[in-house]
Amino acid sequence: MRLPRVITFWLAGAAVLLPVSACSSDEPAAGQAPQASASAAPSEEPEEVNAHPFTGKEYERLRPVLAVKIENTAAGKPQLGLKSADIVYIEQVEAGLTRLMAIFSSKLPAKVGPVRSARISDLHIAPQFGKPAFSYSGAQTKMLPFIAEASLFDVGDTRNPGAYFRQPGRFAPYNLFANTKQLLAKAPKATKAKDIGFTFGDPPAEGGVERKSYSVKWPAARFTFAWSAEKKQWLIWQDGKKDMAAEGGQLGAPTIVVQYTKTERSEFHDKNQSYTPLVHTTGKGSAIVLRDGKAYKARWERESEDGGTTFTTPGGEPMNFAPGQVWVALASRKPVIP
């Protein structure tokens, strides 16, 4: 296993926050966003830390990886546990909607959910983490052999029913939640966090464009990420509404990666003959990295499924992320329902 790299980084100063032009009444609007304070001067000496491979933050020990498939429509909100995730992937599913795959390792919330069914794209994302524990609630019968052969430990509700419970006050199927410690207890050999290609540290000296917000669209979903200098995060809106956490507060992250990928029809479909998209996360392509109130053009590359995904500047240098949680939006340049 590759050891996590020792990363040197500067503490970033606050970026300028401009008014946000909203697409709806609930999205960030002019005059609503807090103003940035004056940028702090960087310290004279860089601080070296033993950086966690998923977040770039200091850690005491590396822990096993747990991947959880989470509902992402209004019926399943607010979600529980996302604030503790190291990485959150946004994936397209049937009918142009999206679901999330949350990756946990450095922090583990007690409970997480709503847990929903697996998709074929999950099985192509998972191998870069080695063999993680994978929590989900069912899958198409035709897909079960693929899950059995995938690089993961199956801790879904069928194999590990004792870890799951129905949350009072919610309705099925959006009320299935899981106890995370019980999930990992069923996968004692799950791979611990390792290098997956991410680098953390100073932003590029050039190339960033100040942005008050950045929107990403799928055929039936829209995310808007708006920079908050006060929180030093890109706060998240979905479909015109603040994306709130069940624990309280609005979801947000220091780094948002918009990874433009190829999306095509898979062999799987639902009972309405709506085909499941296959999102290709190997190969190479373009990306936009949002950090510190700026948008940076980047390139991504993942040579094989058991390898990590690297992000570089147009000049070929590592595209560093800001330390903390990372959201990766797997999107097409032109939204398409395959």
Give counts: helices (H), strands (E), the chain.
3, 23
Q: What is the chain's mean pLDDT, rounded?
A: 87
Q: Whole-prediction pTM value?
A: 0.86
How does DSSP assign 159-225, residue by residue?
T-GGGEEEPTT--TTTTEEEEHHHHHHT-TTPPBP---S--BSSPPSS--EE-SEEEEEETTEEEEE
Query: Quick one: average pLDDT of 114-135?
Result: 96
Given this model, what pLDDT does residue 25 score?
Answer: 39
What pLDDT shows up at residue 42? 52
Under the banding of pLDDT at 50, 70 and 90, the label for residue 31 is very low
Which is more confidently placed, 28 or 305?
305
Please tell me the predicted confidence (pLDDT) of residue 21: 38
SS3 124: helix
Quote the percentage of the chain above a pLDDT of 70. 85
63 contacts: CB under 8 Å, gap ≥ 6: 105, 106, 108, 192, 193
Classify strands 233-238 and 283-291 as parallel, antiparallel or unpaired. unpaired
Phi, psi of 97, deg, nearest 5 = -85, 175
Q: Is residue 39 pLDDT above 70, yes or no? A: no
- For residue 49, the model assigns a pLDDT of 58
What's the CA gap between 199 and 291, in Å, rounded?
Answer: 13
Is pLDDT at 2 greater than 70 in this prediction? no
Mean pLDDT of 62-90: 97
Is the model's pLDDT at 12 over the cut of 50?
Answer: no
Tell me which residue has tokens 């392509």.
285
Digit-coded pLDDT (tens) for 190-220: 999 999 999 999 999 888 999 999 999 999 9
Please tell me the predicted confidence (pLDDT) of residue 27: 59
Predicted confidence at residue 30, as pLDDT, reads: 38
